[in-house]
Amino acid sequence: MRVALAADHGGLELKNSIRSWLEKAGYSVEDFGVHTGESVDYPDYAKIVAEKVASGEFDRGILVCGTGIGMSIAANKVPGIRAALVHDVFSARATREHNDSNILCIGQRVVGEGHALAIVEAWLRTEFSGGRHSRRVEKIGAIESVYCCRSLEGSQSAD
């Protein structure tokens, strides 16, 4: 599984811990920054990872900021993205089983490192349940198609 990873300055340390965990666990991971604590704008990093996932270049994305909220709001603007803001293991499993979420957002200022890594592990290892949940996820896509002009699937960045 190919995982695209990024953070703003508010999520730098947790993003680095997640990257180390992913590498040790054998995932193919690409870190799109940030690499220093300099203040940046989280939508710029949400956009990079969301486009990588929406285009199919990466299977999943993980975004970290101070709260995870800004990253999730921004990532969900990209067609095809179902970004879930998660701060507990139950929700990590549930959002994979029920929502087929393709991006996980976490807040470094909200959860401790160990808890965050448990959330990442649960989210990556849980499969979508399908069945009645497929119909609901399709309805999310139908709402999106009313308001969005195009999908990025099979294409490159929208830059």
**Is 105 considered catalytic here?**
no
Distance separating alpha carbons of residues 86 and 42, to the nearest angstrom: 17
Sheet holding 103-107, edge to edge: 28-31, 2-7, 60-65, 103-107, 83-85
Q: What's the closest the beta carbon of residue 65 comes to ligand RB5, in angstroms?
A: 3
Is 148 a binding residue for ligand RB5 by CB under 6 A? The answer is: no
The correct pick among 53, 58, 70, 78 for binding ligand RB5 (CB under 6 A) is 70
Residues 61, 102 contacting (CB under 8 angstroms): yes
* Structure tokens belonging to residue 155: 């294409």
Is 42 a binding residue for ligand RB5 by CB under 6 A? The answer is: yes
Is 10 a binding residue for ligand RB5 by CB under 6 A? The answer is: yes
**Is 98 considered catalytic here?**
yes
Nearer to ligand RB5 by Cβ, of 69 and 118: the residue is: 69
Surface-to-core class of residue 3, CB atoms within 10 Å of its CB (0-12 exposed, 13-18 middle, 19+ buried): buried
Residues 121, 115 contacting (CB under 8 angstroms): no
- Catalytic position from the list 98, 115, 133, 148: 98
Total binding residues toward ligand RB5, as defined by CB under 6 A? 8
Name the site residues for ligand RB5 (rule: CB under 6 A): 8, 10, 42, 65-67, 69-70
